[in-house]
Amino acid sequence: MPEFDFAQPTSLNDALDLFAADGEVRALVGGTDIVDQLKTGRRNADMVVDVKRIPELQRLELTDDGLHIGAARNLTDIAEFPPVVSDYRGLADSSLLIGSWQIQNRAGLGGNVCNAAPSGDTIPALLSHDTVAVVASKSGTREIALSDFFAGPGQTVLQKGEILVELVLPLMQENSASSYLRFIPRNEMDIAVVGAGSFVQLNPSNNTVLKARIALASVAPTPVRARAAEEVLEGNALTDDLIEMAAVAAVESATPITDVRGSAEYRRELVKVLTRRTLGICRDRING
Amino acid sequence: MHLKVNDESLEVAVDAERTLLSVLRHELGLMGTKYGCGEGNCGACTVLIDGEATRSCITPVTSAGGREITTIEGLANGDELHPVQEAFVEHTAFQCAYCTSGFIMSSAALLDRNPSPSDAQIQSALSGHICRCGAYGRILKAVKSASGEGGAE
């Protein structure tokens, strides 16, 4: 690896001082992306800051205002956290798809988010849950809707000196569920050809959709919401026909490229299939 | 910096940008942990950090400071092989054996958490390991036999 300075702060304030310093300062969580990127020169760093020992970044807690997940918390812990297992199932689905078990033991949720890969598996799941990113710098903290967090492939809206502290997912309402699926040619250590995360909240008395969220990975420069598909769903009864209409509408939000993993045409077809399937899984999960 | 490897406390003078794998092999002479792909894909470099299976080739050594690191050399209890090691020998669960220490470390971590895993759970836990000789069938048998439900065949 190229040379860099290394720091391992144990408090958020110490970390913020380090991130405010001149030069390229990069956060290390599990290192499963950044170490490889540093080795191969795809990212550079004057200083690497291991943020895993900062208590705020290890938070994993369900409170009155939502599920708080510290940016450095590893994916295995998250996927095994009882509220995630029972309610935030799209997040569990996606966490358990990343890399392999050995990677999940290391990789942090905030790392997957800040790496900002168009294919980042947890991101559609988080977007489908209306997740908010809590960001800190020496001048204070601010909240950013995760849908406004991504600026391009590998790029976020974080400013110099800012770090992601935690992700907050709103409390789950009754009769709601989420799901994430991706398509890959094999079951592990691969990158999504397309990923889709859905969230549905139903009115149980008439089966109409109160709220729908659909987000897609690997079909645009950043993970994207499929807003047209959400609009198709909301206010209408969740029938097979409606799911099909939403699946078709989701394709409007996809602007995929053709690359080694799949053609643009193939990806558009996958958007339809995965949207349909995740909506069906949400319905099954709501109905128990 | 301070490293705790196989129950031994060590002081090593290393640069921050070294990987744990590089330090284990070249500073501490623990050659049982292998360099495969160098990018966290193949599983050959797997060690335990605080009991969790971890890729040492993408773990900066500094982030393992103060943690309990276990390598294949530290798995046996004195002269007594770990049950997973015994099972790999028993089933000849290798051909060239380059991948073996990684497979064994993940299998040991799995059985520590779940003494009686299903076939699917074993496959899932080991799915991040590649064996280019294709000894997968024997590896699965070995892990199964080392598990609570296994026993001798």
Fold of A55-169: 3.30.465
A234-237, Cβ contacts within 8 angstroms, sequence gap of 24 or more = A234/A209, A234/A210, A235/A208, A235/A209, A236/A208, A236/A209, A237/A206, A237/A207, A237/A208, A237/A209
Given this model, what pLDDT does residue A190 score?
Answer: 84
| pLDDT at site A53 | 96
Q: Say if B152 falls within a structural domain.
A: no
Residue A214 near residue A272 (C-beta atoms within 8 A): no
Give me the residue label for tokens 């939502």: A66
**Each residue's pLDDT tens digit in chain A (288 positions)?**
889 999 999 999 999 999 999 999 999 999 999 999 999 999 999 999 999 999 999 999 999 999 999 999 999 999 999 999 999 999 999 999 999 999 999 999 999 999 999 999 999 999 999 999 999 999 999 999 999 999 999 999 999 999 999 999 999 999 999 999 999 988 778 899 999 999 999 999 999 999 999 999 999 999 999 999 999 999 999 999 999 999 999 999 999 999 999 999 999 999 999 999 999 999 999 998
How does DSSP classify residue A108? B
Going by the DSSP 8-state scheme, the letter that residue B72 receives in this structure is: G
The pLDDT value given to residue A189: 80
State how far the Cα of A76 lies from the Cα of A98, in Å rounded to an integer. 10
What pLDDT, in 10s, does the model give residues B14-24? 998 899 999 99
User: In terms of domains, do B88 and B36 share one?
Assistant: no
Interface test with B, best of A5, A8, A101, A112 (most B CBs within 10 A): A101
Q: Provide ipTM, 2 decimals.
A: 0.79
Alpha carbon dihedral B51, B55, B56, B57, in 10-degree steps, equals 180
Q: Which residue of B has its CA nearest to A8?
A: B63
Q: If you measure CA to CA, which chain B residue comes closest to A100?
A: B128
Residue B32's CATH number: 3.10.20.30
Q: What is the pLDDT of residue B21?
A: 97
> Is the predicted pLDDT of residue B153 greater than 60, yes or no?
no
Encoding tokens for residue A79?
């996927």
Q: Residue B95 pLDDT more than 60?
A: yes
B134 with B98, same domain: the answer is yes
Q: What are phi and psi of A210, to 5 degrees?
A: -80, -40
- The answer to whether residue B91 is domain-embedded is yes
pLDDT higher at A111 or B152 = A111
Please tell me the distance from the alpha carbon of residue B32 to that of residue B56, in angstroms, as a whole number.
12
In the listed set B75, B103, B138, which residue is the last one of a domain according to the structure?
Answer: B75
At which of B75, B103, B118 does a domain end? B75
CA distances from B51 to A89, A155, B69 (A): 26, 34, 8
Q: Do residues B137 and B90 share a domain? A: yes
Report how far residue A226's alpha carbon sits from residue A223's, in angstroms, rounded to the nearest whole number.
10
Of B75, B110, B135, the domain-final residue? B75
Pairing of strands B68-70, A5-7: unpaired
* Number of domains making up chain B: 2
B63 and B89 share one domain: no
Q: Which residues of A touch B114 (CB under 8 A)?
A: none
Same domain, B116 and B99: yes
Q: Which fold has domain A5-50?
A: 3.30.43
Model pTM? 0.90
pLDDT tier for residue B150 given thresholds of 50, 70 and 90: low
A246-to-A222, A278, B56 alpha-carbon distances in Å: 21, 11, 44
* Dihedral over Cα of A118, A49, A55, A80: its sign: positive
| Whether residues B57 and B98 fall in one domain | no
Residues of chain A with CATH 3.30.465.10: 55-169
Pair B102, B39 in one domain: no
Which architecture, in CATH terms, is A176-286? 2-Layer Sandwich (3.30)
Please tell me which residue of chain A has the smallest CA distance to B41: A189
Per DSSP, the three-state class of A61 is strand
Q: Is residue B153 part of a domain?
A: no
Do B14 and B62 have their domain in common? Answer: yes
Q: Please tell me whether residues B13 and B37 are part of one structural domain.
A: yes
Do B57 and B97 share a domain, yes or no?
A: no
CATH 3.30.390.50-classified regions of chain A = 176-286
Min Cα distance A35 → chain B (Å) is 6
Mean pLDDT of B33-62: 95
| B26 and B59 belong to one structural domain | yes
Range of the domain at B107: 83-146
Q: Tokens in use for A32?
A: 């499963």
Residue of A102, A105, A186 to mutate, interface with B, max B Cβ within 10 Å: A102
Q: CA-CA distances (angstroms) from residue A100 to A26, A75, A95, A97, A160?
A: 24, 11, 10, 7, 32
**Are the Cβ atoms of B54 and A36 closer than 8 angstroms?**
no
Domain with CATH 3.30.43 in chain A: 5-50
B13 inside domain: yes
Cα–Cα separations (whole angstroms), residue B29 to A19, A75, A191, A271: 36, 32, 35, 50
Give the Å distances, CA to CA, from B98 to A84, A146, B73, B92, B107: 37, 43, 15, 13, 16
- B151 in a domain, yes or no? no
**What confidence category does residue B149 fall into, taking pLDDT thresholds of 50, 70 and 90?**
low
